[in-house]
Amino acid sequence: MDATSGRHVSTVQACRGFSYKHLTDPRLQQVSRLFHDVAVELLTLLPDDPELTAALRKLREAKDCAVLLAAVAPAPEGR
């Protein structure tokens, strides 16, 4: 994630896990990319701070839940 360049080490560590291009299923990439994009936007808007680190960690947890659901649930009708 290029947005972490020059950021505090805690911020950089909190951003691990937002990559999505390694996922082979396009549906999983689509879900994961939403969270990646939010993380990048937060890095653009906010300074390094323990609250930013916490927000990024919780966002990553939410991403993990959403990607897991996308992996095990059938695609909705019409998609």
Boundaries of every domain in the chain: 2-70
**pLDDT for residue 1 is more than 70:** yes
Predicted structure pTM score: 0.89
Contact indicator for 27, 70 with CB cutoff of 8 Å: yes
In sequence order, what E strands does 1-79 have?
none
pLDDT at position 75 over 90: no
- Residue written as token pair 């993990």: 64
Question: What band does 38 get if pLDDT is binned at 50, 70 and 90?
Answer: very high
- Length of the chain equals 79
Distance of CA 52 to the CA centre of its chain: 14
Give the confidence band of 26 by pLDDT, cuts at 50, 70, 90. very high
Q: Residue 77: what pLDDT? A: 78
